[in-house]
Structure 1
């Protein structure tokens, strides 16, 4: 075999490697843009459903696609394509309306045209109270971020979706609100940690349909103590294996 042949083989091997890497990156980009996006929970606003340190997959196709479905949110088109409506009770990742560079995650409680209000800690939709049943207490700081037992209430929305909420401070500022009329093409979002959530009652406001990124579906990893998944030495004490592959409801 000549020196030229050997050089050609080496060059071909390097070219093949680069081609495989490029193809893998393009495939990852397509999957992230069209199908799934990983998302980590940065705050406690969705406790007890989602905890800080939960890592989950967000289904991108659930509500169709907007410019916010694409990396860096290029302004290529307005509105949504192949869009479908979120349902009450969906846990949704969306772009924070005052600053679309920031991702938020909350639960949809109000659809376009709904009238939403909190009265003495109970959610009202179109002047009808959402059933709210006390189901017990949680005395676990990892779940509640409080060093005392916290009351837990199960809410059941008109479409039958049920989930648990925390009531950390009875009669808090957000337990009684004005009535909100959700505009066309917008949604009303609330966190399950009702007394510790910046949501549509406060700074978030109404969320435009265009800002929806996708529906949160499944937790694939969870670690406590504000640890990074790369800190392997903390896994024995901080991992939450019972949360792995939990479906988000």
Structure 2
């Protein structure tokens, strides 16, 4: 078993190393699930086979020592050298391959359950959500707000709230579901979304905005105009760069249900299909979002982002956001 455990740890190191070096895209949910299953197997083997065997061997050693001492006592020998305590302790000790598998099972399964059903941490990798979220922000995502989903499969088994306009949502990128994206919901099923001349319209009505002055975008080392945008009673901030007019390219769009969208030199108009959402980044002129790759199906939703728990470059970033 020690050889098998070493092989499994070697495979884990290769997988994590290739993931870190960008040789392939990892799936942390699947990895945690597999680690939970494997360590559960070791934990069950330890509980019902290996630990009872070690305890039986220690008990047998103690019985042998007791019998030896009793036999010597009958011969009139009261002082007997030797103490089996150290040998018994060694027999009861858990070998390294069980310590690093069965011993880790409770920790791994708690992390797996918390991450799958309650909260999951993410790191912001790009500037598409500036000024709401900055590169390097470490955020928490509420996994149960939109319903309870099965781990790995992401199948909803208990519904809860539906995403609403203005929510900041983590989802599986429709083009490559192995990759997680974060954007803001601007369109829900049935909405008509227009984004023309850097202005957003929902069902024919302009989304209210209020100018807030310039914002220095450290990601791009330039200033951009910042606005307060409002969905219902929720206000959030967006960036618009008038020096970067909208350009969606002449090539035909081929994402699923692309026929629901019409493109022009000024922008795009889309009808959001049932069971799908239209997502946009708050950094409107520096965001690859639903304008370019289409709608996000409900089954791709991971959870609602709501809290920055750390930014190593700016501790003042810690807190909730809209």
Length-normalised TM-score, structure 2: 0.63
Q: For 1:150 and 1:14, locate their aligned partners in 2 and report how far apart those are by CA, in whole Å.
A: 56
Structure 2 match to 1:88: 165
Indicate how the Cα distance of structure 1 residues 15 and 173 shifts in structure 2: closer, same or farther if over 3 A, else same: closer
Report 1:206-225 matches (<5 A): 206-223=295-312
Structure 2 match to 1:198: 288
Q: For 2:220 and 2:98, locate their aligned partners in 1 and report how far apart those are by CA, in whole Å.
A: 56
Determine if the alignment matches structure 1 residue 248 to structure 2 residue 321.
Answer: yes
Q: Which runs of 4+ in 1 moved over 6 A?
A: 12-17
Q: Unpaired runs of 5+ in structure 1? A: 224-238
Q: For each residue in 1:66-85, what CA deviation from the matched residue of structure 2 results, as whole angstroms up to 9, or x when unmatched? A: 45xx2xx34xx8x5221230
- Displacement after TM superposition at 1:99 (Å): 1.0
Report 1:36-55 matches (<5 A): 36-55=119-138
- Displacement after TM superposition at 1:154 (Å): 0.9
- Displacement after TM superposition at 1:53 (Å): 0.7
Which of 141, 150, 153 aligns to 1:58? It is 141
Asked if the contact 1:63/1:82 (under 8 Å) is kept, the reply is no
Q: Which has the higher helix share?
A: 2
Q: For each residue in 1:114-154, what CA deviation from the matched residue of structure 2 results, as whole angstroms up to 9, or x when unmatched? A: 00001322110000111111111113x42xx2333321011
Structure 2 match to 1:109: 186
Structure 2 match to 1:228: none
Which is greater in Rg?
2
**1:178 aligns to what SS in structure 2?**
strand
- Displacement after TM superposition at 1:18 (Å): 5.6
- With CA pairs under 8 Å and 6+ residues apart, which has the higher RCO, 1 or 2? 1
Which of 172, 184, 195 aligns to 1:118? It is 195
Aligned length: 221
- Displacement after TM superposition at 1:19 (Å): 4.5
Length-normalised TM-score, structure 1: 0.81
**2:89 aligns to what SS in structure 1?**
helix
**1:242 aligns to what SS in structure 2?**
helix
Asked if the contact 2:246/2:267 (under 8 Å) is kept, the reply is no
Structure 2 match to 1:227: none
